[in-house]
């Protein structure tokens, strides 16, 4: 794609060819710049898969649908891992059959596309067809014999009127059974002295695996001319997901287990019932020499949680086994006007492109309370409900304006300039800017460079999320930054992230059908948003008690502890070879390298420093810097010959560092090569069958040493945030019909 910034296009057919069951997984497999660890089964974070662009936080990528901002999700990642403390958009809630293509803008793009685009932006473009459709079914499972999934998706298009109007409908239903890669339980399965401890089956843990889930998604994308140069449009998605994440096994010998309710121990689960909806409606017009787009967009994510197969030891034998834990709800309402026009001048070789816009947005974040039995005393084992202190309903108003210019100073030399000003009702008014240039030496070679500044405010969830995790002898609280308890522990006013992004690259077509894109980049982020390390000790407990949080031993809060920098580079190249007798071959190679470093640390509050504590310790650093691989490579060959299609892809993932707990020794997960392969055959011109495998060689991550896993009952046999998962090889069979 011709641009002063890098834009990589992934087609809908490329996504479907991966054999993955949702958009997030498919995009991560197709693009080396994106890392997306599979769902881990660890706390609430096990429900939602997130992605990182160029090694940055999941929150630092702006998600667009048809060029308009998509709402963020309600799932706050409170568990340690690559996306600890994030609250990103979940693109897996869009039917994969609805997508025409995805544009991945892998450069800082806040001024051009909207705040939050510190690492870049992902624009999902839906189909705009006037006829035809498809129906597809897929059955998949893992070599280990579990994790079977049934996936059905379809789309249908029809014309609206005779002037180019269209209506595209799509749907997808995925039923995923769980996997289990937990180790054999280490510790007392039954009370001390019980002879069954010597002979009992220790294959009882289920906490490391893909959760059981059912996801239903629908979408519509419509545009209809109404005369006088006016077009009405509407884009909507609706999703419903039910899922169960297995938590830490509680043996009959555990002090939190009521042996009268669970004489052989309990395997608790967190349940989630999610309803997600977004509708984007507007009118496009050509008036007064300008192209206009006026729109209203509303998105809402409603997630209700429960704890299942558990007990509250405080209630004794009267305890329920299942608990309602409360809800987390987010919403975004935005309305705006955009305009664009080309201006012809006598002193420039090509017209100047002007784009501008203004937008108002209302963000909300809400937490509702759980039933009393879910949180009273020690609460439901392994996942307590939302306590009364957690109940909140917050909102903010955002006003945004932007202007962009694109012009040529010579026939070969292009420049872009952009600026954006955004006012947040609870923070401040911030400005960001961008400048980019591209010089086309000829039709085969071009060089480009860009400088961007960006800003990302903390989400309302990062500001107001509260969670209490009670254990037998202690409790851990995730405190809102604005709470009295957090302030007593040194929390200052939470700030947004400011970024600077420098990039230089080339676009080349050295020979016919060979395309090359290569880039070097540097990203600096000031006041990086992150959770503090877990703060503990008698001094912390005393401060928390004085703030009204009795029996709470440890706490953390969201803040701006560090300033980071990232050095990196990427390559994206493809070559298509047409032969007379052997069909067509397409070769693709993508590479990304991102090295994250801590540039400096912001001052630790004196109240913590006086207790010998730090807001950001080694554990937190490792999670930020080394929980995702520095480098990724994809090499693939796609062969089309008559009715046959064969795809072979080789992927390489660099090493990561895994820490099972804050006190565990770091473990290096070694680099790994994975092979993906599929074979398709057209039985009829419109009917095809595909057989394939991802991770064909059944590669597993480096095994966690027993000494490291033992303190956590040997639950984590593999790193739960391994970038390519921990489930081994997956096979699938797929059949599709087009019409």
Strand intervals (E) in 490-583: 497-508, 514-531, 535-536, 554-578
Q: Averaged over 248-265, what is the pLDDT?
A: 94
Q: Record the tokens describing residue 182, joined without a space.
A: 């937990």
**pLDDT on residue 715:** 85
**How is the chain split into domains, by residue range?**
7-738
413-467 pLDDT, tens digit per residue, is: 999 999 999 999 988 899 999 999 999 999 999 999 999 999 999 999 999 999 8
pLDDT bucket at 40, cuts 50 / 70 / 90: low
Q: Averaged over 65-79, what is the pLDDT?
A: 92
Beta pairing, strands 7-11 & 68-69: unpaired
Q: State how far Cα 115 lies from the chain centre.
A: 17
Q: Tell the residue number behind the tokens 């706490």, with chain if given.
A: 555
C-beta of residue 126 within 8 angstroms of C-beta of residue 221: yes
**pLDDT on residue 48:** 83
Q: Averaged over 726-731, what is the pLDDT?
A: 96
C-beta of residue 725 within 8 angstroms of C-beta of residue 37: yes
Coil, strand, or helix at residue 451? strand
Rounded Cα–Cα distance for residues 137 and 115 (Å): 38
287-346 pLDDT, tens digit per residue, is: 999 999 999 999 999 999 999 999 999 999 999 999 999 999 999 999 999 999 999 999
Contacts of 24 by beta carbon, 8 Å cutoff, 6+ apart: 36, 49, 50, 51, 90, 91, 92
**pLDDT on residue 41:** 60
**pLDDT on residue 2:** 66
Q: Averaged over 682-709, what is the pLDDT?
A: 95
553-579 pLDDT, tens digit per residue, is: 889 999 999 999 999 999 999 999 999
Rounded Cα–Cα distance for residues 305 and 243 (Å): 10
Q: Which residues of 192-211 are buried (b: 16+ CB within 10 A; e: fewer)?
A: eeeeebeebebebbbbbbbb
Q: Which residues of 87-126 are buried (b: 16+ CB within 10 A; e: fewer)?
A: bbbbbbbbbbbbbbbbbbbbbbbbbbbbbbbbbbbbbbbb
Average the pLDDT over each of 231-245, 318-332, 475-489, 666-680 and give the range with the smallest value.
Answer: 475-489
Burial class (CB in 10 A: 0-12, 13-18, 19+), 600: exposed
**pLDDT on residue 471:** 67
**pLDDT on residue 428:** 86
Residue 1: pLDDT over 60? no
Rounded Cα–Cα distance for residues 11 and 103 (Å): 9
**pLDDT on residue 571:** 96
Average the pLDDT over each of 174-178, 376-380, 405-409, 710-714 and give the range with the smallest value.
Answer: 710-714
Domain 7-738 bears CATH identifier 2.60.40.10: no
Residue 473: pLDDT over 80? no
Residue 704: pLDDT over 60? yes
Residue 716: pLDDT over 90? no
**pLDDT on residue 207:** 87
End-to-end C-alpha distance for the chain, whole angstroms: 30
Residue among 247, 206, 209, 184 at smallest CA distance from 40: 209
pLDDT bucket at 6, cuts 50 / 70 / 90: confident
Coil, strand, or helix at residue 46? helix
**pLDDT on residue 623:** 86
Q: Averaged over 645-657, what is the pLDDT?
A: 96
Rounded Cα–Cα distance for residues 709 and 183 (Å): 9
More confident residue, 104 or 43: 104
**pLDDT on residue 46:** 79
94-115 pLDDT, tens digit per residue, is: 999 999 999 999 887 788 888 8
Q: Which helix (H) or strand (E) holds 264?
A: none
Residue among 693, 691, 586, 583 at smallest CA distance from 643: 583
Coil, strand, or helix at residue 421? strand
Q: Averaged over 708-719, what is the pLDDT?
A: 84
Handedness of CA 26, 28, 29, 31 (dihedral sign): positive
C-beta of residue 112 within 8 angstroms of C-beta of residue 417: no
Distances from the Cα of 709 to the Cαs of 192, 657, 665, in angstroms? 22, 15, 10
**pLDDT on residue 474:** 61
Q: Averaged over 167-188, what is the pLDDT?
A: 95
Cα angle value 380/383/389 (rounded, 5°): 85
Residue among 57, 117, 54, 53 at smallest CA distance from 81: 57
**pLDDT on residue 472:** 59
Q: Averaged over 194-221, what is the pLDDT?
A: 94
């Amino acid at each position: 794609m011709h641009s002063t910034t890098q834009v990589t296009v992934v087609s809908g057919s490329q996504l479907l060819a991966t054999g993955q069951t949702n958009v997030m997984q498919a995009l991560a497999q197709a693009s080396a710049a994106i890392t997306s660890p599979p769902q881990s089964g660890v706390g609430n974070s096990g429900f939602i898969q997130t992605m990182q662009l160029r090694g940055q936080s999941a929150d630092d990528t702006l998600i667009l649908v048809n060029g308009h901002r998509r709402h963020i999700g309600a799932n706050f990642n409170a568990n340690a891992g690559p996306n600890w403390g994030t609250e990103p958009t979940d693109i897996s809630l869009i039917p994969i059959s609805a997508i025409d293509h995805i544009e991945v803008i892998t450069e800082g793009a806040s001024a051009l596309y909207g705040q939050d685009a510190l690492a870049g932006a992902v624009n999902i473009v839906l189909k705009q067809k006037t006829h035809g459709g498809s129906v597809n079914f897929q059955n998949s499972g893992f070599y280990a014999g579990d994790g079977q999934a049934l996936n059905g998706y379809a789309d249908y298009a029809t014309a609206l009127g005779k002037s180019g109007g269209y209506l595209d409908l799509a749907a997808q239903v995925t039923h995923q059974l769980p996997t289990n890669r937990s180790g054999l339980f280490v510790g007392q399965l039954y009370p001390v002295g019980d002879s069954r401890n010597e002979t009992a089956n220790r294959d009882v843990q289920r906490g490391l695996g893909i959760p059981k889930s059912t996801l239903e998604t629908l979408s519509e994308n419509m545009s209809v001319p109404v005369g006088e140069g006016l077009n009405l449009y509407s884009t909507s998605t609706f999703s419903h997901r039910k899922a169960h994440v297995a938590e830490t096994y509680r043996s009959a010998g555990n002090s939190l287990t009521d042996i009268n309710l669970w004489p052989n121990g309990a395997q608790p689960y967190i349940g989630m019932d999610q309803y997600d909806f977004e509708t984007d409606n507007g009118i496009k017009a050509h008036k007064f020499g300008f192209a206009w787009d006026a729109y209203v967009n509303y998105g809402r994510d409603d997630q209700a949680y429960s704890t299942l197969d558990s007990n509250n030891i405080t209630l004794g034998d009267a305890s329920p086994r299942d608990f309602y834990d409360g809800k987390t709800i987010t919403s975004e309402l935005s309305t705006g006007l955009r305009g664009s026009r080309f201006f012809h001048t006598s002193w420039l070789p090509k017209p100047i492109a002007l784009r501008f816009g203004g937008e108002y947005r209302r963000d909300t974040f809400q937490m509702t309370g759980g039933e009393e039995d879910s949180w009273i005393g020690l609460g439901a084992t392994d996942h307590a409900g939302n306590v009364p202190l957690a109940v909140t309903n917050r909102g903010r108003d955002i006003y945004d304006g932007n202007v962009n210019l694109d012009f040529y100073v010579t026939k070969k030399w292009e420049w872009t300039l952009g600026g954006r000003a955004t006012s947040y009702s609870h923070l401040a008014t911030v400005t960001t800017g961008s400048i980019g240039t591209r010089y086309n030496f000829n039709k085969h070679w071009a060089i480009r460079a860009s400088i961007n500044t960006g800003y990302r405010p903390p989400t309302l969830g990062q500001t107001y999320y509260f969670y209490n995790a009670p254990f037998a002898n202690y409790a851990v609280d995730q405190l809102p930054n604005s709470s009295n308890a957090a302030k007593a522990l040194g929390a200052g006013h939470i700030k947004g992230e400011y970024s600077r992004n420098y990039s230089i690259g080339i676009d080349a077509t050295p020979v016919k059908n060979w395309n090359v894109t290569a880039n070097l980049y540097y990203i600096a982020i000031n006041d990086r948003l992150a959770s503090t390390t877990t703060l503990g000790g008698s001094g912390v407990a005393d401060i928390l008690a004085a703030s009204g949080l009795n029996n709470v031993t440890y706490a953390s809060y969201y803040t701006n502890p560090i300033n980071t920098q990232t050095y990196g580079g990427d390559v994206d190249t493809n070559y298509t070879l047409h032969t007379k007798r052997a069909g067509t071959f397409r070769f693709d190679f993508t590479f990304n390298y991102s090295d994250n470093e801590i540039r400096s640390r912001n001052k630790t509050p004196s109240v913590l420093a006086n207790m010998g504590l730090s807001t950001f310790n080694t554990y937190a650093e490792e999670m930020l810097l080394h929980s995702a691989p520095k480098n990724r490579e994809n090499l693939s060959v796609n062969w089309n010959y008559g009715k046959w299609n064969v795809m072979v892809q080789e992927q390489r993932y660099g090493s990561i560092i895994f820490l099972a707990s804050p006190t565990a020794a770091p473990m290096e997960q070694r680099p790994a090569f994975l092979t993906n392969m599929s074979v398709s055959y057209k039985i009829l011109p419109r009917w095809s069958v595909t057989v394939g495998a991802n991770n064909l060689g059944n590669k597993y991550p480096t095994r966690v040493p027993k000494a490291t896993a033992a303190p956590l009952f040997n639950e984590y046999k593999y790193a739960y945030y391994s970038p390519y998962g921990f489930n081994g090889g997956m096979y699938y069979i797929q059949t599709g019909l087009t019409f």
